[in-house]
Amino acid sequence: MLRKELLQLPYYRSLALNMMATIIVVSFIPVILVGSTIYFNLYASYREKVYAHLEELVEKHRQKIDDFLGDKLADIRFLAKNLGYANLSDETFLQDTLASLQRNYHYAFVDLGVVNGSGQQVAYAGPFKLAEADYADTDWFQQAMQKAYVISDVFLGLRRMPHFIVAVKGRVNGKPWILRATIDFAIFNDLVENIRVGETGFAYILNRNGEFQTHPLIDFIPSKGCYGQLFDCDRGMDDRVSIREWEGDDGKKSIYFTALLKDKEWLLVYRQERADAFSELRRAQGIAVVIFIIGGISIIIMAFTLSIRQVDRIKEADRGKEMMNQQMIETGKLASIGELAAGIAHEINNPVAIMVEEAGWIQDLLEEEDFEQSSNLEELERALKQINTQGKRCKEITHKLLSFARKTDARLQSFSINDLIEEVIDLSEQRAKYAKVTLTTRLDEDLPAIQASPSEMQQVFLNLINNAVDALEKKGGAITVTSLRRDTQAVIEVQDNGPGIPPANLDRIFDPFYTTKPVGKGTGLGLSICYGIIKKMGGEISVQSDMDEGTTFTIALPFHKEGEEERPAGGYSCR
Amino acid sequence: MNDPTVMNEPTVLLVDDEEPFVDTMTKRLSKRHLAVLKAYSGEEALLALKEDHHIDVVILDVKMPGMDGIETLKAIRKDFPLVEVIMLTGHATVETSIEGMRLGAFDYLMKPSDMDVLMDKVNAATRKKREHEDKIREARVNVILKARP
């Protein structure tokens, strides 16, 4: 209910929103700053780690492939140099040599051939029918004739299968001859294909024209041009691994690691989708985002709860302050009314005194002999008596008014509680009469004096009786004030036969600002002040109520002990 | 020396700014065999005390324009210490009357007062004043007797 009211009040709603916004901003700024710093540091170090790892991987494979090709070339050179043209041109010898090579090198060598200076194959050992094949027009033969050795690009050749040739040039009797070997493409391809990282990482080799030298894992057409445009051919041809990021036609970014092979004739390319390479980072990002969202929601909930709670408290404090102000104003009004009443009462006292004295004077005169014979003597005496009686009544009324209007005196003194109860009953009688409420007292006449502040006790009983009259105002009823002795205490009960107090309200009835009266009718301070006064005087106040039967407030106060210090209160009288 | 049980008529000075009150009270007190002098202010009361040295009791209203009851009382206690003062007051000035008693007033009464109660207090005050005077007189006589050779 309070929250609903709160949200309906623009001031408190705005206060709650401001507070909420402040808490959210103050909480989010450090979270965002710390989170961003951690994220960027993590990203940089992770990127560095991934790049370093892949760079090393590519570098090792480049080495491995270069070693493989170098080994094969060295083997052929060794054979050409040590076995010589005469032996190798013998096909039987050549087949034995091939068998020996295949045993030692896991069949990496598919065949061997001896080609004369005209490009005519003079001896052949291998599975294909290539005896007397003519290689005069092939690139590899022409290159081999120019250089001491050659490792060809991959081509289909006469056998119509992808393969490449390793060839070395020798000389016999001043004439050149060539020993060539075909390398098993599958074994070579496996060397490259084995480079697999993540889900999308794979490697392939391009020649200088951008043509595949191995079979790539994914079918695609490489860009034409120098090394498939993955390598800046204008740049110096160094041996370092180059790294590039390119966005493909499908919009996916890929990272390319490239390294030159085979005397810079081939380019080893390792390609992996960026998202795949950074998948671990993305997972960490995902967790961080989830934590951030949970943290953010917690902050928002906390900000909402805290601000609502704080505004509740502020509102409660404001309400208390407002009530205190109202109470102050009421107290001020009461004080003014009291002063006015005191002034009026005092001014009335003088004419009343004169009237009474004049009546007294007439009474004195009537006592003289001259008037004793008058037939109206009896009637005159009755009238004078009535003037005296009414004069005294006026005096009592003004004295009560003056007594009530006197400033609150909190000093403790010993007095009769019964006298005070009767005085309060007298003061409340008029109001009770108009509310159709009868006031009855049952007082123990032998009660000893109590030690308390009479004016504060007057306030307590007036409050209790006024509350009871308020409760009975609609239908009328009866209020009974009882005083009795219980051990060392005077017990005073203020009992009414009104509608009673609901049990839920009974526990809070002495709380400050708690009221069930309509707005403007009560401040909710009366009973809490009564409670405070009674407690201060060393007494107890309690309430017992039954619905539709009535309510009883019970006050227990200690009797005044003989010899206890008593401060003169100055002229307080209870009538 | 006077016999305290056979007391001469007390002489009373009635001080109040309410003239009708003073006049009626004067008549009523006179009828009860008191010698009554009237004053309508504190200043008049002090003049009357200076002129008539037989005043026993001053019945003094507390709330008066000009010199109020307390000021008048202080002046009386200073210049005429033997004269007894009964304060007469409305209820609002009870505290003032108590202060008056601290300053040496004999008693206080609230308006409108009961004539019998007032008479009792006047008589008591007169008796006290005269006993006091007698003691002083006796002391003086003793001093004179002792001084004789």
Tell me: the pLDDT tens digits for B25-55? 999 999 999 999 999 999 999 999 999 888 9
Q: What mean pLDDT comes out for the span A311-340?
A: 77
B28 interfaces chain A, CB cutoff of 8 Å: yes
In A99-213, where do the E strands start and end?
109-116, 121-125, 149-151, 164-172, 175-183, 202-207
Distance separating alpha carbons of residues A363 and A372, to the nearest angstrom: 12
B119 interfaces chain A, CB cutoff of 8 Å: no
pLDDT band at A564 (very low <50, low <70, confident <90, very high): low
What does the block give as tokens for B87?
């304060």
pLDDT at A562: 60
Would you say A113 and A142 are in contact if contact means Cβ atoms under 8 Å apart?
no
pLDDT at B81: 92
pLDDT at B45: 96
Among chain A, residues having any CB pair with chain B shorter than 8 Å are 342-343, 345-346, 349-350, 352-358, 360-361, 364, 391-392, 395, 398-399, 402-403, 570-571
* Three-state SS annotation for A184-209: CHHHHHHHHHCCCECCCEEEEEEECC
Name the residue of chain A whose CA is nearest to B25's CA: A357
* Three-state SS annotation for A415-468: ECHHHHHHHHHHHHHHHHHHCCEEEEEEECCCCCCEEECHHHHHHHHHHHHHHH
CA angle at residue A132 from A131 to A135, to 5 degrees?
A: 110
Residue type, A505: N
Nearest to A350 among B21, B98, B115 (CB): B21
Q: Do the Cβ atoms of A349 and B111 come within 8 Å? A: yes
- Judged against a pLDDT cut of 60, whether residue A521 lies above it is answered with no
pLDDT band at A515 (very low <50, low <70, confident <90, very high): low
Sequence ranges of chain A with CATH classification 3.30.450.20: 10-187
pLDDT band at A570 (very low <50, low <70, confident <90, very high): very low
SS3 label, residue A11: helix
B110 interfaces chain A, CB cutoff of 8 Å: yes
- Judged against a pLDDT cut of 80, whether residue A218 lies above it is answered with no
Q: What mean pLDDT comes out for the span A101-129?
A: 88
pLDDT at B1: 39
B98 interfaces chain A, CB cutoff of 8 Å: yes
Write out chain B residues lying below 8 Å of A361, CB-based: 24, 27-28
Name the residue of chain A whose CA is nearest to B94's CA: A571
Q: Do the Cβ atoms of A349 and B28 come within 8 Å? A: no
Count interface pairs A-B at CB distance under 8 A. Answer: 65
B113 interfaces chain A, CB cutoff of 8 Å: yes
Q: Check residues A335 and A212 and name the one with the higher pLDDT.
A: A212
B101 interfaces chain A, CB cutoff of 8 Å: no
CATH class of the domain defined by A410-558: alpha beta
Nearest to B91 among A355, A391, A402 (CB): A402
Name the residue of chain B whose CA is nearest to A341's CA: B92
Distance separating alpha carbons of residues B109 and B73, to the nearest angstrom: 15
pLDDT at A572: 29
Write out chain B residues lying below 8 Å of A341, CB-based: none
Distance from CA of A519 to the nearest CA of B (A): 35
Q: Do the Cβ atoms of A570 and B111 come within 8 Å? A: no
Would you say B73 and B57 are in contact if contact means Cβ atoms under 8 Å apart?
no
pLDDT band at A520 (very low <50, low <70, confident <90, very high): very low
Write out chain B residues lying below 8 Å of A338, CB-based: none
Q: Do the Cβ atoms of B110 and A399 come within 8 Å? A: yes
Report the residue of B25, B62, B111 to disrupt the A interface, i.e. the one with the largest count of A CBs within 10 Å: B111
B116 interfaces chain A, CB cutoff of 8 Å: no
- Judged against a pLDDT cut of 80, whether residue A269 lies above it is answered with yes
Mean pLDDT rounded to a whole number for chain B: 86
Name the residue of chain A whose CA is nearest to B101's CA: A570
- Judged against a pLDDT cut of 80, whether residue B84 lies above it is answered with yes
Distance from CA of B106 to the nearest CA of A (A): 16
Q: Check residues A13 and A345 and name the one with the higher pLDDT.
A: A13
Give tens-digit pLDDT for A423-454: 888 877 777 887 789 999 999 988 888 888 78
pLDDT at A277: 86
Q: Do the Cβ atoms of B24 and A354 come within 8 Å? A: yes
Report the residue of B29, B91, B95 to disrupt the A interface, i.e. the one with the largest count of A CBs within 10 Å: B91
Nearest to B92 among A355, A358, A402 (CB): A402
pLDDT at A501: 87
Among A247-261, A397-411, A553-567, where is mean pLDDT lowest? A397-411
- Judged against a pLDDT cut of 70, whether residue A519 lies above it is answered with no
pLDDT at B14: 96
Residue type, A513: F
pLDDT at A548: 85
Query: Over pLDDT 90: what percentage of chain A?
Result: 19
Distance from CA of A573 to the nearest CA of B (A): 10
pLDDT band at A407 (very low <50, low <70, confident <90, very high): very low
CATH of domain A195-277: 3.30.450
Name the residue of chain B whose CA is nearest to A344's CA: B92
Distance separating alpha carbons of residues A168 and A147, to the nearest angstrom: 8
Helix ranges restricted to H, A367-416: 369-372, 377-405
pLDDT at A569: 34
- Judged against a pLDDT cut of 50, whether residue A524 lies above it is answered with no
- Judged against a pLDDT cut of 70, whether residue A402 lies above it is answered with no
Nearest to B112 among A352, A364, A570 (CB): A352
- Judged against a pLDDT cut of 80, whether residue B143 lies above it is answered with yes
- Judged against a pLDDT cut of 50, whether residue A568 lies above it is answered with no
CATH class of the domain defined by A10-187: alpha beta
Q: What mean pLDDT comes out for the span A352-368?
A: 85
Q: What mean pLDDT comes out for the span A491-500?
A: 92
Among A129-143, A515-529, B6-20, B106-120, where is mean pLDDT lowest? A515-529
Handedness of CA A335, A341, A344, A350 (dihedral sign): negative
CA angle at residue A462 from A457 to A465, to 5 degrees?
A: 125
Distance separating alpha carbons of residues A426 and A433, to the nearest angstrom: 11
Q: Read off the pTM.
A: 0.46
Sequence ranges of chain A with CATH classification 3.30.565.10: 410-558
Nearest to B92 among A346, A353, A395 (CB): A346
